[in-house]
Amino acid sequence: MKKYFSIITLGCAKNTVDTEFIIGIMADAGYAYTSNLEEAKVIIVNSCAFLSSSVSESLNAVFEAQDLRKNGKLKTLVLTGCLIHRYKDELYDKLPEVDIFLSTEEIKHLPKILNNNSKGAFYKNYDVFLGNEKLKRIVTDVPSPAYVKIAEGCNHRCAYCTIPLIKGKLKSRSISSIIKEVRSLVKNGVKEVSLIAQDLSEYGSDLKDDTNLNKLIDSLHNEKFPCKFRLLYLYPTGINDGLLSRIVKYDDFCNYIDLPLQHSSENILKAMYRPVGKFSSWNIIKKIHEKYPQISIRTTFIVGFPGETREDVEDLKNFVKQGYFSSVGIFAYSHEEGSLAYSKYKDYKQDKKQVKRDIKEIEIIQQKLRVAELKKLKGKQIKVLLEGFHKDTDLILVGRTEFQAPEVDGEVLITNVDLSKRDIKFGEFYNSVVTKVDGYNLEACLID
């Protein structure tokens, strides 16, 4: 009789990677994964706790899973992920619904814990899990792109951020370990690999053997993998000519970076403990734009940080108006317990209506600029990675081009394919011509 388990995954792509390792580890131990929670005897909640809203979402997932003891087959409820690392022993007495509390470092021991019918808290330490090529990983969305987590933790102490509290200091994998994992993913049909970490720029600095991001990029390029690589989550001080020139020179790397800047005003950047001077938002983006204009830049901003003035907001609006960015995410500041800002600004109160207005205005500025830029592509040829059918109809195919990262940057909709006359393989690249712009999405026709 199969022992079914299921996983509820919350939060960022790094959690998705951990979930895929959990599925592999459990499968190796004889458990069978199901996406149907009602079938599962074991449900694992891989939680997020970056923001208060994330904590609430994770707790709700626990409570909803608990209901399946009555309405489903649930016997064991496991909680792992960032919630464990943020609140540690506080959770044990407050969540009687949970049978097993597991730090991410201990997830590789979960089958043994389950087989022993053990219950309680299992964390010898609060070190974070960093998968490697020796552990089985089952990617859930092949042939869609895959993420490879090259490091965990962060050495920066940005005032608004709880990641150092949750994940600890930077912990990098070796280049050889990463290459072996990429080789396995490519063997299984993956055609785009996104390299992720809290800060890719710091990769290798903890290894004390001269390992760094540029050396990793060189090593991956030299392997000549039949896939594209994408860099997600860089830090301003890690932006240098060596990195940018490699992105442009190597055709197996997307001309794309995700560089969270958080603000443009130096007053706010200083308060956030973010880089200023030559690595300020204005200066670093001008450098990239002037020397490497072919690189698309995605960024994120925080509005409503303590002490933010109308002048600071206008500076941010003016920054976005320059049209530097292919994609912008804008978020309201969240006053998180445990962060440096929470301790420093104890009496902080947010004008939520004003923050909401500011976010909307910046979004409108970015959308107008981006749509105008996308319209210049009409009639031009682009290469598209086809990923599947449109969620509403099988008559339209969905893919992405080089300046579109998964889930955040829009899509390419292919509208001219007669599948009865043409053999299409999802997870492959196809040439197409842009015919229309619809918001942040492009419509296109295949040409070969």
| Same domain assignment for residues 348 and 387 | no
Alpha helices in 198-258 (DSSP H): 213-223, 241-249
User: Looking at 54, 88, 122, which one is the last position of a domain?
Assistant: 122
Mean pLDDT of the chain: 92
pLDDT at 199: 95
| 273 shares a domain with 353 | yes
Phi-psi category of 138—alpha, beta or left, where left has phi over 0 and alpha has psi -120 to 50?
beta
pLDDT per residue over 102-151, tens digit each?
Answer: 888 888 889 999 988 777 766 666 667 788 888 888 887 766 789 999 99
* Per-residue pLDDT reduced to its tens digit, 196-233: 999 999 999 999 899 999 999 999 999 999 999 999 99
> Which domain does 320 fall in, by range?
146-375
Q: Which residue has the higher pLDDT, 377 or 427?
A: 377
- What single DSSP character describes residue 391? T
Q: Is residue 135 part of a domain?
A: no
Q: What is the average pLDDT across 383-410?
A: 90
pLDDT band at 420 (very low <50, low <70, confident <90, very high): low
Q: How confident is the model at residue 416 (pLDDT cuts 50, 70, 90)?
A: confident
**134 falls within a domain:** no
Indicate whether 234 and 285 sit together in one domain. Answer: yes
Based on the domain organization, do 10 and 28 belong to the same domain? yes
Question: How confident is the model over 40-53, as a mean pLDDT?
Answer: 94
Q: Kindly state whether residues 186 and 94 are assigned to the same domain.
A: no
Q: Indicate if 227 and 350 belong to the same structural domain.
A: yes
**Domain annotation covers residue 299:** yes
pLDDT value, residue 126 = 61
**CATH code at 398?**
2.40.50.140
Mean pLDDT of 69-73: 82
Query: Quick check: is 132 in a domain?
Result: no
Residue 217 inside a domain? The answer is yes
At residue 227, the pLDDT reads 94
Instruction: Assign residue 96 the CATH number of its domain.
Output: 3.40.50.12160
Spatial contact of 357 and 365, defined as CB atoms under 8 Å apart: no
- 175 and 308 fall within a common domain: yes
> The domain spanning residue 239 has which CATH number?
3.80.30.20
Q: Do 273 and 303 contact (CB within 8 A), yes or no? A: no
Q: Is the dihedral of CA 265, 269, 271, 276 positive or negative?
A: negative
387 and 346 inside one domain? no
Residue 228 CA to its chain's centroid (Å) = 17
**Strand-by-strand arrangement of the 120-122 sheet:** 31-33, 3-9, 42-47, 76-81, 100-102, 120-122
Cα–Cα distances (Å) from 213 to 150, 151, 160, 178, 216, in that order, read 10, 11, 26, 12, 5
Residues listed for the chain: 448
Query: Lowest-pLDDT range, 188-192, 325-329, 330-334, 364-368?
Result: 188-192
Q: Is 39 exposed, middle or buried (0-12, 13-18, 19+ CB in 10 A)?
A: middle
Q: Are 402 and 255 in contact (CB under 8 A)?
A: yes
Q: Are 75 and 183 found together in one domain?
A: no
pLDDT in tens, 158-190: 999 999 889 989 999 999 999 999 999 999 889
pLDDT of 121 reads 66
Report if residue 206 sits inside a domain: yes
> Where a domain ends, among 353, 375, 397?
375
Answer yes or no: do 332 and 260 share one domain: yes
CB 201 within 8 A of CB 213: yes
- Structural domain count of the chain: 3
Token pair of 355 as six digits: 């923050």
Residues 370 and 385 placed together within one structural domain of the fold: no
Q: What is the pLDDT confidence band of residue 391, given thresholds at 50, 70 and 90?
A: confident
